[in-house]
């Protein structure tokens, strides 16, 4: 069964997903599992986070950069998301590894790709599907400007920064 990872607290319904039946023990955090305001970019932060994890699969964000990290036999390596010439990319989940998965950002991406970024997690076939979706950036930019928000928030959408 493919289920989207939902970010908003109001969207989370504990009765909807029985975590005990998931093939991998999963969790979610806004930023680092150690500190929701901490960014996970480099090896030092990632190694600290992996040492803390008590789950096989953790979804995190805060950086707005699609991708993540995996730890195999205590060796961390970076995972890339979708390439510019792709709409999606699958990552098979090895039950012996531990994963930190960043779905990216539906809005305000920071990885140079202006498309909306998200993941789908298939609990039965044990994979994460990284996805990118085109959307009407100019319409969103107009809404941001009409709302009186800083213009930089509208401008950066077109370049994914």
Mean pLDDT over each residue of the chain, to the nearest integer = 82
Per-residue pLDDT at 4: 40
Q: What's the whole-number mean pLDDT along residues 136-160?
A: 94
Per-residue pLDDT at 24: 67
Rounded Cα–Cα distance for residues 67 and 150 (Å): 28
Per-residue pLDDT at 13: 46
Identify each DSSP E strand in 73-158 by its residue range: 75-80, 88-92, 98-102, 116-122, 127-133
The percentage of residues in the chain with a pLDDT greater than 70, rounded to a whole number, is 84
Per-residue pLDDT at 68: 93
C-beta separation of 129 from 119 below 8 A: yes
Rounded Cα–Cα distance for residues 139 and 121 (Å): 29
Q: Is the pLDDT reported for residue 10 higher than 70?
A: no
Q: Is the pLDDT reported for residue 3 higher than 80?
A: no
Rounded Cα–Cα distance for residues 140 and 46 (Å): 33
Q: Parse the chain into domains and list their residue ranges.
A: 2-134
Beta bridge partners of 77: 70
The percentage of residues in the chain with a pLDDT greater than 90, rounded to a whole number, is 38
Beta bridge partners of 70: 77, 99
Q: In this predicted model, what pLDDT tens digit does every residue of 13-33 receive, in sequence order?
A: 444 444 444 456 788 888 888
More confident residue, 8 or 153: 153
pTM for the full model? 0.78
Three-state secondary structure call for residue 10? helix
Rounded Cα–Cα distance for residues 103 and 81 (Å): 8
Q: How many CA atoms lie within 13 A of 82 on its CB side?
A: 25
Per-residue pLDDT at 61: 85
More confident residue, 152 or 107: 152
Rounded Cα–Cα distance for residues 81 and 148 (Å): 33
121-140: b (≥16 Cβ within 10 Å) or e: bbbeebebbbbbeeeebeeb
Cα four-point dihedral sign 112, 114, 115, 121: positive
User: At the top level of CATH, which class does the domain 2-134 belong to?
Assistant: alpha beta
Q: In this predicted model, what pLDDT tens digit does every residue of 61-109 receive, in sequence order?
A: 888 889 999 988 777 888 888 888 888 999 999 988 999 999 999 878 8
């Amino acid at each position: 069964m493919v289920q989207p990872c939902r970010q908003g607290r109001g969207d989370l319904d504990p009765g909807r997903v029985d975590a005990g039946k998931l093939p991998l023990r999963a969790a979610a955090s806004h930023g680092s599992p150690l500190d929701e305001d901490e960014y996970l970019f480099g090896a030092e932060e990632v190694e600290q986070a992996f040492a803390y994890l008590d789950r096989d699969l953790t979804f995190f964000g805060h950086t707005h950069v699609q991708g993540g990290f995996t730890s195999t036999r205590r060796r961390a390596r970076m995972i890339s998301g979708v390439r510019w010439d792709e709409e999606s990319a699958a990552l098979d989940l090895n039950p012996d590894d531990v994963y930190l998965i960043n779905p990216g950002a539906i809005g305000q991406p920071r990885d140079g790709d202006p498309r909306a970024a998200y993941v789908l997690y298939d609990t039965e076939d044990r994979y994460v599907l990284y996805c990118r979706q085109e959307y009407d950036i100019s319409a969103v930019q107009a809404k941001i400007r009409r709302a009186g928000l800083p213009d930089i928030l509208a401008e950066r959408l077109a370049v994914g920064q």
